[in-house]
Amino acid sequence: MSELPRSSHLRRGRYSETDRIYLITSVTHNRQPIFSDWELGRLLVDEFRGVRREGMADSLAWVIMPDHFHWLVELKSSQLPQLMRRVKSGSALSITRAKKEQFKLWQKGYHDRAIREENDILPAARYIIANPLRAGLVNRYGDYPLWDAIWL
């Protein structure tokens, strides 16, 4: 019996499936509130858009909080580890260039959850875009600059 490949990027039992929708969360190193600077958050948005242009995945909804992001994404031509390497390394490079200093941007790993039922997609998107309200960062959805959803 062959074993699954061992990798620091894979969690035991993680499986990527093309055309599957995933809710992904990733946290900044030591929960540093890097994205309190919204201009730096826009550089992460550029990475989300880049993976779409490259055909890797389609973004359905996302929010970039000061120290983490939530992303509802449909995989296309990539696997989760490849997608996350692309987003995290690309954003780390552009953000360290913008700040003109070297620092560790992301914690290792990420959390993912496959959305298995179609009727779970909109509740997941609502959860994502309501994050700034729950955190007390804004009083209305439209007041927070770092989020988007395809339904709006």
Per-residue pLDDT tens digits of the chain, which is 152 residues long: 333 344 444 455 567 888 899 999 999 999 999 999 999 999 999 999 999 999 999 999 999 999 999 999 999 999 999 999 999 999 999 999 999 999 999 999 999 999 989 999 999 999 999 999 999 999 998 899 999 999 86
CA angle 107, 125, 81 (to 5 degrees): 35
| 101-124 exposure pattern, b = at least 16 Cβ within 10 A, e = fewer | eeeebbbeebebeebeeeeebeeb
Query: What is the reported pLDDT for 10?
Result: 44
Judge whether 10 lies within some domain.
Answer: no
**How many separate domains does the chain show?**
1
* 2 assigned to some structural domain: no
pLDDT of res. 52? 96
Residue 138, in any domain of the structure = yes
CATH of the domain at 77: 3.30.70.1290
